[in-house]
Amino acid sequence: MQKINLALLGFGVVGQAVYELLSKNATRIAKITGFHPVIKKILVRDLKKKRKISIDKGFLTTDFNEILSDEEIKIVCELMGGLEPSEEYILKSLHQGKAVITANKALLSERGEKIFTKLNQRRGYLGFEASVGGGIPVIKTIRESLIGNKIHRIVGIVNGTTNYILTQMQERKMDFAKALRLAQEKGYAEADPSLDLKGIDSAHKISLLASLAFNFFVPYDWVYVEGIEKIQLEDLEFANQFGYVVKLLAMAQRVKGKLEVRVHPTLIPEKHILTSVRLNYNAFLIEGDFVGNILLHGLGAGGYPTASAVVSDIVDAIKYIASGQNGLTIYPLYEKERKKEFRPIEECIFRYYFRFQALDKPGVLSKISGILGRHGISIASVVQIGRHRGKGAVPIVMLTHETKEKAVRVALKEIEKLEVVQGETVMLRLFEEKG
């Protein structure tokens, strides 16, 4: 049986999990593919660093060129993360004719134009299943299983850190800061969790899924992004009173010929299937014209689930190489003019949740509702909690009927200038199924 050599760039949590998986299941993979995958070299920063896995130091190198120049190495797995030197290493590996696998969603969503263009200009293989959804095969599902469908919509809970935090707040009545600390203690949040909390990680992922669904490259900076930093426990409790659960949603969809690709915290009806996605789990709801709605659900991060996706791509790379590099290798191209197809968030139409902090005085509600009315914003429900002491700020919570975001933004700026309104208003959008 033939062996096929590969190299790992990076030997952190994911790299070590890939090593473990191949050590355990390489024989099984060989029986299926006819090729035995062998890790020949591993690029690391520090040869002396202590690692969970005991490994012969002869496999390790700090010199990428040692991998690049080795013609026996056919597959390169970039598992380092970051933009540089990852981009350089991927481009050089592709130029040398090596198949490349990456879990680097930030790199692909921010610099995919250059990488995908190079792949389409000359034959090459890039596998990136592990970049979105951990062990959930969402990329392969869109690229292969649903290839006969026109994708109308992808709605996802794509970040395990924020979902874990919101679950703890919702179920255990924790405040945001305590839920974040717990996520960090459990290893679900980084010491600096800003990429997760600000929605940036989710935006990287939905940009790649949108690129595959709409058949052209959707760069990260075309995605509208809001995070969960401003959400407080009382917002989740008020949402529950109205029959909703708050989740950070990533969405890519066509609406009346326009494209919307966005990430923001959203109120979802409590009976919707996505509200059952708890803790650090991810889920993807995909709607195609022939398949209808399908749901993919599972662990979206972690060494072992991500390693599973990486090895799936290794197997596809082996098939690509064995076929004489004649496999299906079409990648989404950047088309600048397609930006005109995108609907700006200001033109999108939603129902809204507002939480104002207002002084407990007579006439406050009428002032707020008057401004909303002048801007064509109709109120559906109101909860006003007064202290009846004539001083201090109290919450006024509203749900609206459908209205355009542009009108909402103008109205809220006007409301926040009122002397009776304290601080910034919390504004969240509602998710509702059409039809």
Active-site annotation, residues: 205
Interatomic CA distance for residues 200 and 287, integer angstroms: 24
Question: Helix, strand or coil for residue 242?
Answer: coil
Residue carrying structure tokens 């597959």:
75
Query: Which residues make beta-bridge pairs with 4?
Result: 37
CB 236, CB 170: distance < 8 Å: yes
* Structure tokens belonging to residue 252: 């890519």
**C-beta neighbour count of 305 within 10 angstroms:** 20
CB 165, CB 236: distance < 8 Å: no
Interatomic CA distance for residues 30 and 52, integer angstroms: 26
**What's 288's DSSP letter?**
E
Interatomic CA distance for residues 53 and 17, integer angstroms: 9
Q: How far is CA 352 from CA 32, 244, 284, 381, in A?
A: 52, 12, 23, 11
Interatomic CA distance for residues 98 and 41, integer angstroms: 14
**C-beta neighbour count of 20 within 10 angstroms:** 15
CB 267, CB 258: distance < 8 Å: no
**C-alpha dihedral, 240 to 242 to 247 to 251, nearest 10°:** 170
Query: Which residues make beta-bridge pairs with 39?
Result: 6
